């Protein structure tokens, strides 16, 4: 998350303090909460971002923002998103927190959600996770690869003003970015299409060895069916 140090110091200014080893838990907890709140504000049309920025635009001029007063005066938004805050800390502190969030234009990433790619570490981790997934599929290690049932809420904190489910995440939802290789896949069809077991897969990792893990004392044990 950008602005982490500033975020931490602002929390202290508002009276949120903690000593080691709980200090990092304090600000990281607020970061995760704010991340969910910001997504919800966007869905309520209360969080706005520039449509585009040139490469030389300073980050201070190319960041998202919100209007704290507009949020506070919107009874629906305030009740849906900030009731817990007002109960815990009162109206004044809650308003201070909203103003801080709106002023900082924070860029956040969270590996639990579709905001993952906003975190630079996503791009380092993602390929490793995919290679591990391919190995699990090749070796038939999954007891089940069934999808979450349509209509189930994927995240209990998925606050949305119009629906309790997240369209695009279900098994039979079509890929939102359109056809791939001429096919209009559903999620489950695309998952099968990318299986490393099928010859039409456009690529597969050249090996499934993790020597650095073995050197660190965590060898990846593979079945005899996986030779690379």
Whether residues 166 and 183 share a domain: the answer is yes
112 Cβ contact partners less than 8 Å away, ≥ 6 residues apart: 155
pTM (two decimals): 0.55
Give the residue, 210 or 113, on which the prediction is more confident. 210
Whether residues 89 and 19 share a domain: the answer is yes
Q: What angle do CA 12, 159, 165 make, to 5 degrees?
A: 150
Residue with tokens 């997240």: 166
Distance between CA 212 and CA 205 in Å, rounded? 17
Whether residues 84 and 35 share a domain: the answer is yes
Least-confidence region, from 2-6, 100-104, 184-188? 2-6
Give the residue from 159, 196, 210 showing the smallest Cα distance to 38. Answer: 159
Percentage of residues in the chain with pLDDT exceeding 90? Answer: 12
Could you report the per-residue pLDDT of 28-51, keeping only the tens digit for each? Answer: 566 666 777 888 888 899 988 888
Boundary residue ending a domain (94, 112, 130): 112
How many domains does the chain contain in total?
Answer: 2
Whether residues 128 and 44 share a domain: the answer is no
The pLDDT of residue 91 is: 93
User: Is it the case that residue 121 has pLDDT exceeding 70?
Assistant: yes
Bridge partners of residue 4, in order along the sequence: none
Determine whether 219 is exposed, middle or buried from the number of CB atoms within 10 Å of its CB (0-12, 13-18, 19+): exposed
Whether residues 91 and 122 share a domain: the answer is no
Which domain, by its residues, includes 134? 116-208
Q: State mean pLDDT over 152-170.
A: 60
Give the residue from 73, 61, 2 showing the smallest Cα distance to 34. Answer: 2
Residue with tokens 């079509």: 174
The pLDDT of residue 205 is: 83
Boundary residue ending a domain (112, 133, 165): 112
139-172 burial by CB neighbour count: b if 16+ within 10 A, else e?
Answer: eeeeeeeeeeeeeeeeeeebbeeeeebbeebbee
Could you report the per-residue pLDDT of 64-112, keeping only the tens digit for each? Answer: 889 999 999 999 999 988 998 899 889 998 898 899 888 876 665 556 6
């Amino acid at each position: 998350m950008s602005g982490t140090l500033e975020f931490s110091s602002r929390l202290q200014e508002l009276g949120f303090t903690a000593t080691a080893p709980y200090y990092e838990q304090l600000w990281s907890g607020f970061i995760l909460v704010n991340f969910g709140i910001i997504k919800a504000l966007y869905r309520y049309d209360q969080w706005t971002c520039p449509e585009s920025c040139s490469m030389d635009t300073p980050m201070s001029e190319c960041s998202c923002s919100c209007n704290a007063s507009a949020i506070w005066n919107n009874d629906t938004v305030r009740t849906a998103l900030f009731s817990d805050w007002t109960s815990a800390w009162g109206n004044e502190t809650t308003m201070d927190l909203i103003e801080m969030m709106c002023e900082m234009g924070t860029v956040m990433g969270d590996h639990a959600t579709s905001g993952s790619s906003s975190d630079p570490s996503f791009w380092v981790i993602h390929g490793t996770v995919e290679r591990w997934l391919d190995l699990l599929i090749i070796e038939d290690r999954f007891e089940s690869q069934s999808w979450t049932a349509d209509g189930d809420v994927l995240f209990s904190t998925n606050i949305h003003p119009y629906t309790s489910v997240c369209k695009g995440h279900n098994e039979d939802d079509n890929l939102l970015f359109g056809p791939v290789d001429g096919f209009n896949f559903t999620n489950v069809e695309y998952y099968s299409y990318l299986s490393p077991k099928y010859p039409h897969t456009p690529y597969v990792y050249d090996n499934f060895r993790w020597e650095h893990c073995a050197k660190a004392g965590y060898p990846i044990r593979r079945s005899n069916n996986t030779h690379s």
